[in-house]
Amino acid sequence: MKDLVAAVAVGKVDGHLILDVDQVEDNYGEADMPVAMAPSINAITLLQLNGVLSPSEFSEALNLAFKGINEVYRLQKETLRNKYLVRVE
Amino acid sequence: MSVSPTSPDVIISKLKAETLAALAKKGVRSDERGLEDFRRLEIVTNYLPKAEGSALVRLGDTQVLVGVKLELGSPYPDTPDEGVLVVSAEFVPTASPAFEPGPPDENAIELARVIDRVLREYGVIDTSKLAVIPGRKVWIVWIDIYVLDHGGNLVDASSIAVLAALLTAKIPQHVLGEGESIHVDKTVASGPLPILRKAVTVTIGKLGDSLIVDPTLEEESVISSKIIIGVGEDGLIAGLQKTGDGYLTKQEIEGAVSLALRKGSELIAKINECLKPREGTHVETAEPATTIQEGLKPLEGMPDNNA
């Protein structure tokens, strides 16, 4: 196993880029972009943009997605580690 | 949905696959193109006399025919004052040994959806001008994509053909009668289909560690992933989709997007050139070569009904 895959969606609502799009934001926003990646090997495994972004917004959106992905990735690892923690009396 | 033959459409030897990747690393391709070059592009507009708009596009060995039809119909309840856009794609069985007769398979549906998304999200067609009786009768724009020859990069060839067909499409003359009756005369045009802004797709493949533009069928069978980028005429990214099992790094995605924006504006310029009123019907441009024809020109070996 090379890495874990973590994913998050970035959106554009009322001209602002937002992280972790909820349903209302998805339905009424101007753009949404799901991104999945294996952070440790710098591999983007899924990317789809629905909507229109300028090149600079796209770059900003991608960085915002990486921020969210790293957070999810940290939680994934923490959860896995905690599952196998054994209390030694 | 019919069962689709799994990709790749062609199976090539490992040796050939390694050669293609090794060539790309040196910055060349097996057909002597550079990594960022499109194949020879040929656009024939108004190819189908009975359609409201049409275009035949030849991109290397790939051949795609697009017809645009306008019919009156009911609007969607949430957009009562807007026309309706419907995109469908058909992979004609003679286009590739891998295509089978039957209803559109997932590849045809994906092609239609990618094109539909670019048109819709970018607002290519001004659907607000397509209401004839607001809330009751609107124009339904049917865009039918027929893949006639599969030589790779169907998405870009289709997007070029769709844009060229839309730009030549005319709204039939229509007269409101008593009640809500509308008399449509398809032999007379009342005006062009309202186009707000132009967009095409640019497909970039990852071959080894290299990014290549306009992959051939052979290259498509060895690239690990593709990224299809919608490019608008004002330099905006009009949708994007990664396909394939492989992955791309952040640097590769950024490189692919800036390359796509550059190539996309070149493609739109070529389509504009194709539609410019001019003397003569044959225009040749510098490399990568583009042949532009207008009017009805039958394919070789097909009867010429206009002769």
Q: How far is the alpha carbon of A33 from chain B, nearest alpha carbon, in Å?
A: 9
Kindly report the backbone phi and psi dihedral angles of residue A73, in degrees, each rounded to the nearest multiple of 5, phi listed first: -60, -40
Give CA–CA dist B121/A30, Å, rounded: 9
Give CA–CA dist B186/B119, Å, rounded: 25
Residue A87 CA: distances (Å) to CA of A73, A81, A84? 25, 13, 10
Q: Could you report the per-residue pLDDT of A9-26, keeping only the tens digit for each? A: 999 999 999 999 999 998
Contact state of B249 with A58 under an 8 Å Cβ cutoff: no
Compute the C-alpha angle A36/A40/A44, nearest 5°: 30
pLDDT score for B177 = 85
pLDDT score for B9 = 59
Nearest by CB to residue A53, choosing from B236, B248, B250, is B236
B110: its two tokens: 């994906």
- The residue among B113, B211, B240 with the most chain A CBs within 10 A of its CB, best to mutate, is B240
Nearest to B109 by CA among B94, B86, B90: B90
Kindly report the backbone phi and psi dihedral angles of residue B111, in degrees, each rounded to the nearest multiple of 5, phi listed first: -60, -50
* Percent of chain A residues topping a pLDDT of 90: 89
pLDDT score for B304 = 46
| Number of other residues whose CB lies within 10 A of the CB of residue B97 | 11
Could you report how far apart the first and last alpha carbons of chain B are, in Å? 41
* Confidence band for A8, pLDDT divided at 50, 70 and 90: very high
- Bin B32: left if φ > 0, else alpha if -120 < ψ < 50, else beta: left
Instruction: Profile chain B (307 residues) by mean pLDDT over runs of 10 residues.
Output: 46 85 91 94 94 97 97 95 96 88 89 96 96 94 97 97 97 88 88 96 94 94 94 96 93 96 96 75 40 46 44
Residue range A20-45: average pLDDT? 94
- Largest Cα–Cα separation, chain B: 71
Residue range A59-68: average pLDDT? 97
* Chain B residues within 8 A of A62 when measuring between CB atoms: 250, 253-254
Nearest by CB to residue B232, choosing from A37, A52, A58, is A52
Contact state of A52 with B254 under an 8 Å Cβ cutoff: no
- Bin B124: left if φ > 0, else alpha if -120 < ψ < 50, else beta: alpha
Contact state of B237 with A53 under an 8 Å Cβ cutoff: yes
- The residue among A28, A37, A41, A48 with the most chain B CBs within 10 A of its CB, best to mutate, is A48
pLDDT score for A53 = 97
pLDDT score for B274 = 87
**pTM, two decimal places:** 0.88
Nearest CA in chain A to B225: A45
Tell me, what's the ipTM? 0.91
Question: Contact at 8 Å (CB) between B48 and B138?
Answer: no
Q: Residue B149 CA to chain centroid, in angstroms?
A: 14
Chain B CB within 8 Å of residue A40 CB: no
